Structure 1
């Protein structure tokens, strides 16, 4: 009887022009979160970049990585400088700035004034086109550090499997995660994460305290979070990480500190 009444009420409201918001099933969101539970691997996490925004945790497995590709240039580029010091070439891309914010000879880095996205034109370039233009080799290991304000979903879903496999380590800031409750956004998000998890495992999550945590139906979701992934062939041992924040984590902003909710790293 309750179901009949509910259906009748929904039908009545829709006929009156009040569209009922559909939400993603709670079970699906929990399953997605569980698939992303961070793993401790044999290489300890180290921090590249400053103690704040622009610094990220990565596995100490950087030897013989040819280059760091970093779409999204911010005011701070110390992460890329750390990669340069470790022998990597550094490639940066961002249409919204004139150049990266560091004092280096031009032969020490490569910058293109373009956005990274799902197509290549006058303003945008795909990850595959960018790497193929800049990298002479076709099979060397690379590192990806991506912070492109929501365009990460289209850029990653468009990336070829071959290029995905070339990235030994990927550090990606994902935005608008509270919209996982929107079924359309959830489907896109799940497709992106499923693609990544075919070849990589999550080794760290750090919520950006710029935007807080969204809570619904007992599930806490950071609105913005930095995820670190390691390619599966680099993993020889693993256990679930169970202590957050990591001692090398720092707040991104002066806003109220937040920690990764327990549902993201423990069975609740």
Structure 2
């Protein structure tokens, strides 16, 4: 169901967010890692040389990390909401902690986690993050030099209608984008059809989208995104209708389909 919210409060802030969210195609094709449904994501076919996958937000899914293992990439997994991952992933290490902007109690920072576990400080890493809104504080607090270690970041952005309309939320997102936009470009975007949308300025904005960010030095042939959804995209909940990405993010590249 679509709810209604006030119009955008800051066109300048919204424009910066829109620019960062807008996906681009590159010369590297996308492949699907993980299940054909919830837990699977599209990433560039550029995994060779990645030393490890850092995967906060395990919950009930580990198909992404299992596929990483099949590519010879071990995973470091973290989530204080579960005692153990749902699958025994070869080569994986798990810590029952949440990610955040401080090392305190059951929370740890991305910097401290990587410092304690990094298998090869000279190699690229991959970050796959679904942490229910804590992604903004976590990434805003991470040193830029650390973020540049990640060749790609696969992430679920939460609370998007609030980010576009409420200053308290938009400030968090803008701090995150400032920390990422010089080094990363969005190369895929797909709405999560479980959480629904909110109408803002005549467009339905998904509450949650999954995005794939690629480090700019790996993003050759940048150009406007191909028509979306991608053929490998799948609905998170197959019993609910697909959501369409708003034109503010994809222009004419997005259109409704069954994906």
TM-score exceeds 0.5: yes
Which residue does the alignment assign to 1:48? 33
Partner of residue 175 from structure 1, selected from 147, 154, 158: 158
Q: Distance in 1 between matches of 2:63 and 2:168?
A: 36
* 1:117-128 → structure 2 map (5 Å cutoff): 117-128=100-111
Q: Distance in 1 between matches of 2:11 and 2:26?
A: 30
Provide the aligned length of Structure 1 versus Structure 2: 246
Which residue does the alignment assign to 1:212? 196
**Are 1:115 and 2:98 matched, yes or no?**
yes
Which residue does the alignment assign to 1:251? 235
Shift of 1:104: 4.3
Shift of 1:138: 2.0
**Are 1:166 and 2:168 matched, yes or no?**
no
**Are 1:151 and 2:153 matched, yes or no?**
no
Shift of 1:84: 0.9
Structure 2 gap ranges (5+) = 1-5, 254-259
Shift of 1:121: 2.3
Which residue does the alignment assign to 1:93? 78
Asked whether the equivalents of residues 72 and 146 of structure 1 are also in contact (C-alpha less than 8 Å), the reply is yes
Asked whether the equivalents of residues 22 and 182 of structure 1 are also in contact (C-alpha less than 8 Å), the reply is no
Q: Distance in 2 between matches of 1:49 and 1:125?
A: 26
Shift of 1:159: 0.6
Shift of 1:114: 0.6
More helix by share: 1
Shift of 1:207: 0.6
Q: Distance in 2 between matches of 1:22 and 1:79?
A: 37
Larger Rg belongs to = 1
Asked whether the equivalents of residues 24 and 186 of structure 1 are also in contact (C-alpha less than 8 Å), the reply is no
Shift of 1:47: 0.5
Question: SS where residue 50 of structure 2 aligns?
Answer: coil
- Report the aligned-residue RMSD: 1.8
- Larger RCO (alpha carbons 8 Å, 6+ apart): 2
After TM superposition, the score normalised by the length of structure 2 is 0.90
Partner of residue 190 from structure 1, selected from 157, 174, 178: 174
Shift of 1:212: 1.4
Return 179-188 or 79-88, whichever deviates more: 179-188
